[in-house]
Every structure is written in C-alpha cells, then in structure tokens.
Structure 1
Amino acid sequence: MKFSSLGSGSSGNSSFIEMGNKKFLIDAGFSGKRTAQRLNDIEKRIEDIEGIFVTHEHTDHILGLGVLSRKYDIPIYLHELTYNEIKNKIGKIDKKNLNFIRDEKVVIGNCVIKNFEVMHDAKKCLGYTFEFCGKKLSYASDVGCVNNIIKENLKNSDVIVLESNYDYNMLMTGPYHWELKNRVKGRHGHLSNADAAKLVGQVLCNKLKKVYLMHISKDNNTPELAYNSLQQVLKKENRKNLDIEIIGESGTKIYKL
C-alpha cells in the first residue's frame, strides 16, 4: 500500500491511495486540472485512478468530482444522501460510475474499503478504512467529536490520517464570531488538537507506525501546536518510534506502508 495527500485545507482536500495494482482517490476537492497536476507531481497518472471515495458534500471535498468522473471515466463511491446534496453541483454522472455506499464495506479485487459515519454538519459524513494484504490505513476528516464507532474503526491501523483542526485557545481568542466558534467546536464541527491526540492515544497499537494530521486551520491552529499536542500523548505512552506528519495545502510525498 502507498499513500499521499494531494493537499488538505480550506482550499481543497484530496488524497491518493494505492493498494496493489489498484489506485484510488479519497475526495476530489481540487479542480480536475489541479488534481491531475498534483498526481503528476508524485509521478502518478489521473488516467490510472479506478475510483473516488467521497467523505461528504462540502465543496472543499467535491469541487473536481464531476469533471474527473466524466473526463476520465472514473467511478465514484458515496452515500446516496451525499449524492442528493451535490448532484446539481457536480453535473451528470454516468450511471455505471455512480456507486452508492449502502453496506459497511466495498470490495474491489483484493482491496477492502470499509466506511463508518462521523459527526459533522453534513447530510452524511463518512470515514474510511483501506485494507490490503494485512495492512490498514484509516482516514477520518471533518470530525465533530469522537465516539466509539470512530475508535473501533481506527484500531489496529498501520497508518492513521486524522483531522486536527484547531487549538482551543486560538479559536476562543481568535477572530471568528461566537456563532462560528460554537460551530467549529460543536459536536458537528471539527476536531481539536487535544481531542485528535487523545484519540490516537486511545487506539495506539504496535502496528501503528505513522500518523498524518490534516485539515489544519489557518486561523485557529498552527502545525507546531497540532504536532506538539500529539507528541505529548506519545511521550506519555513511551512511543518514540511513531512518525507524525502534518498535511498542508501542498500535500505530501508517497509513503509506503
């Protein structure tokens, strides 16, 4: 398995995952042209993508979805409630490329992609786990709060890709008006550094080798604060060999699980 983020932030979110000879995207929050270029930057081709798994309907996750599916004949996998929210935005999708997620998992060849619901201010927001040849990558973006469903799905992971959106003190003293602050820190908003770090600490296992922190707020967080929050938890657990990487808007290099 291989993983790379093409970028994460308010300007767009998309990630690449390779499982054997199968290549997929998680979300398509950049324009079609920009997505193709970012794949080219990591020496991958948009023409080889065999599916796009959508987390939820917000524009920074689906901007290029329709264009990519039509131009490159790429299947998309999403919840029907999400499709109903975005169908007018993404345009016509060929029926053969429209796959509604109704079961807990999708099996493509030897690849097993499981989904689980996360709390967010969307009609339906999904996290995913990708399993192939004994390896597991867990992906949870735009998480309002942690619950047992998320904990159970993140257990036994080799890699975790997780939102660490805001620092509580920066949010509360920052420029957002009170209503927006309440939205961000609410049960259907985003995940704080402290809660993201706590969650990783709760699902730590010997298999876990790398944690990516994504969706870092420009206004209410810094990469250093997100990194340090998790590092403090890892020190308490004496996990010195766990690699932490912050995903910014420019994305990441390819990581081999």
Structure 2
Amino acid sequence: MRLSVLGSGSRGNSIFLETDSIKLLIDAGFSGKKIEEQLKQIGVDICGIDGILITHEHGDHIQGAGIISRKYDIPIYITKESYEAGILKIGKIKESNLRFIENQFWLGDTMVYPFDVMHDAERTIGFRFEESGGAKLAVATDVGYIDNGVREAFKDVDVMVIECNYDYQKLMDCSYPWDLKARVKSRNGHLSNNDCARFVRENYHSKLKKVYLVHMSKDSNDPKLALDAVLDELLRHGIDIPLEVAHQEITTKVIEF
C-alpha cells in the first residue's frame, strides 16, 4: 500500500491510497481543482483514480466528490444515509457510478471493511483496508467516542489514520460559542488530543509502522500540543513509533508499507 494525506482539517479532508491494482480517494472535501493539484504534487493523475470512498456527508468530506465523479467518470462509494443527507452537495451522479456501502466489499486486491463511528452526521463510517498481500490500514477522521467497533477496526494495522481534533483547555478558551464547544467535546463530536493519545497507546503493537494525526482544529488545537500529547502518552509506556500531523494545506509525502 501507498498512502498520502492530501490535506486534513475543518476546511477539507482527502486521503490518497494506492495498492498494486487500485487508486482511491478517501473523502473529497476540497474543490475538484484543488484535489487535482494535490494529486499532481505526489505524481498522481486524477484520471487514474478508481473510486472515491466517503466517510460522511459533511461538506469538508464531500465538497469535490460529485464534481470529480462527473468530470472523470469515477465511482463514489457512500452509505445510502450519507448520500440522501448530502445529495444537494454531491449533485447528480451517473447511476453506474453510485455504489452504496452496506457491508464489506472488494476493490481490486483489497478488502474494504466499513465500520460505524459516533459523530454528528446522518451516518459516519471509517474504513479498514486489508490488501491481499497482507498490508492493513484503518482510517477514522471524525470520531466523537472510541467504542469497541472502532477498536476492533484498528486492531493489528500497519498504519493508523486517526482524528486528533482538539486540546481541551484550548477549546474551553477559544471564541467558539458554548453550544459549539459542547458539540465538539460530546460523544458525537470530535476526538481530543488526550483521547487520541490513549487510543494509539492501547492499539499499539510491534508491527505498527506509523500513525497520522488528522482533522486538527485550527481554533482549538495546535500541531505541537497534539504531537506532544500523543508522544508523552506513548513514551510513558516505552513506545516509540513515527507520528505525523496532517495539515490543512500541506500534502504529506507518499509512504509505502
């Protein structure tokens, strides 16, 4: 598998994933033009994308999905609940390019396992990918609460892509109205730095190669705060693994695993 986080944050999210037989986008929360530019940065032609997998219907995850699907004739994989809730943002999609997610499914040489997560959308899912060659990846960008389903989805993966959205004190001190602060820190909101840190530590195993910290708030978090929180938790337990913060405007280098 080869992976790059094209960009992640409250203004847009998209991840590129490639195996020996497929090239995918996980979410398309930027404009179609922006995603095309992001892919060019890592040497990928958007015309070669085989599918767009959508986690949920919020605009920062689907903004460019419909445009890209129509322009380049690319299938969209989405739950029926998210599609119906986001149909105005996605627009008209050719019937043959609309694939509703119900259970696990094969894409090329890779089995895709969708799993439900707690978040304040009509329905939100994460994805676990298992390549026939053995590589495993799990992605959850919006997670209000880590339940057993999420824990199971991230078990024994080679790479974790997990939300690290807010620092509690910074959230309490920022200019958000109280109802938004309450939403962010609720079980259907987002994952704090400390909760993310504990989850990474609990799911650590000796073959884990890298962890990406994603969907970081620009108002209630800071890359250093997030990285320090996770590093401190891991180092207290004698764990040393590569961590990378995904930024809103910076596309990460491609890693292969």
Report the TM-score when normalising by structure 2. Answer: 0.97
Query: Counterparts of 1:216 and 1:42 in 2: how far apart (Å)?
Result: 22
> 1:237 offset after TM fit, Å?
2.3
1:196-240 alpha-carbon deviations (Å, 9 max, x no partner)? 010111111111010000111111110011101111121122122
AA in 2 matched with 1:244: L
Cα deviation 1:161-204 (Å, max 9, x = unaligned): 00000000111122111111100000110000000010111111
Matched letter for residue 151 of structure 2: K
The one-character-per-residue Cα deviations of 1:132-160 (angstroms, maximum 9, x if unpaired) are 11111110011011111101110101000
Q: Using the alignment, how far apart are the partners of 1:25 and 1:169 within structure 2?
A: 34
What's the offset of the Cα at 1:35? Answer: 0.6
Which amino acid in 2 is paired with 1:8? Answer: S
**Amino acid aligned to 2:242:** D
Name the counterpart of 1:172. Answer: 172
CA distance in 1, matches of 2:23, 2:236: 37
Aligned equivalents of 1:163, 1:109: Cα separation in 2: 27
Residue number in structure 2 paired with 1:122: 121
Counterpart amino acid of 1:11?
A: R
- Which residue in the other structure is 1:45 paired with? 45
Query: Amino acid of the residue matched to residue 244 of structure 2?
Result: E
The letter of the residue matching 1:191 is: L
Q: Distance in 2 between matches of 1:222 and 1:108?
A: 36
CA distance, structure 2, for counterparts of residue 223 and residue 91 of structure 1: 35
Query: After superposition, what is the alpha-carbon deviation per residue over 1:18-48, rounded to whole angstroms, capped at 9, x for unaligned?
Result: 0112100000001111111110010001000
Q: Secondary structure, in 3 states, of the residue corresponding to 1:68?
A: helix
**2:110 matched to which residue of 1?**
111
Cα distance between partner residues in 1 of 2:11 and 2:170:
21
In structure 2, the residue corresponding to 1:8 is in which secondary structure? strand
Q: 1:28 aligned to 2:33?
A: no
Distance (whole Å) between structure 2 residues aligned to residue 70 and residue 253 of structure 1: 28
Matches of 1:226 and 1:208, distance apart in 2: 19
2:65 aligned partner: 65
Deviation of the 1:109 alpha carbon? 2.3
Q: Is the 8 A contact 2:21 2:109 kept in 1?
A: no
Secondary structure at 1:206 match in 2: coil
1:188-199 matched pairs, under 5 angstroms: 188-199=188-199
What code does the residue aligned with 2:119 have?
H
Structure 2 unpaired stretches of 5+ = none
Looking at structure 2, the residues matched to 170 and 232 of structure 1 have their Cα atoms a distance apart, in angstroms, of 18
**CA offsets, 1:59-78, max 9 Å, x none?**
01000111100110101101
Q: How far 1:56 sits from its partner (Å)?
A: 0.3
Who is 1:9 aligned against? 9
Counterpart-to-counterpart distance in 1, 2:6 and 2:210:
17
- In the other structure, the counterpart of 1:76 is 76
Q: Is the 8 A contact 2:21 2:108 kept in 1?
A: no
The Cα RMSD (Å) is: 0.8
SS of residue paired to 1:36: helix
**Could you list the runs of 4 or more consecutive aligned residues of structure 1 that deviate by over 6 angstroms after TM superposition?**
none
Matched, 1:227 2:227: yes
Specify the alignment match of 2:204 in structure 1: 204
Displacement of 1:88: 2.0
Please give the alpha-carbon distance, in whole angstroms, between the structure 2 residues aligned to 1:201 and 1:52.
Answer: 30
Query: What is residue 156 of structure 1 aligned with on the other side?
Result: 156
TM-superposed deviation, 1:251: 2.2
Between Structure 1 and Structure 2, how many residues are aligned? 255
Letter in 2 for 1:110: D
1:244 matches 2:243: yes
**DSSP-derived class of the 2:9 partner:** coil
1:91-135 CA-to-partner distances (Å, cap 9, x unmatched) read 1111111000111x1102211111100000000000001111111
- Structure 1 distance, partners of 2:38, 2:129, is 22
Contact 2:105 2:112 in 1 (8 A): yes
Alpha-carbon distance in structure 1 between the residues aligned to 2:89 and 2:180: 25
**CA 21–110 in structure 1, closer or farther in 2 if over 3 Å, else same:** closer
| Partner of residue 97, structure 1 | 97
Question: Once the two structures are aligned, what percentage of the paired residues are identical?
Answer: 47
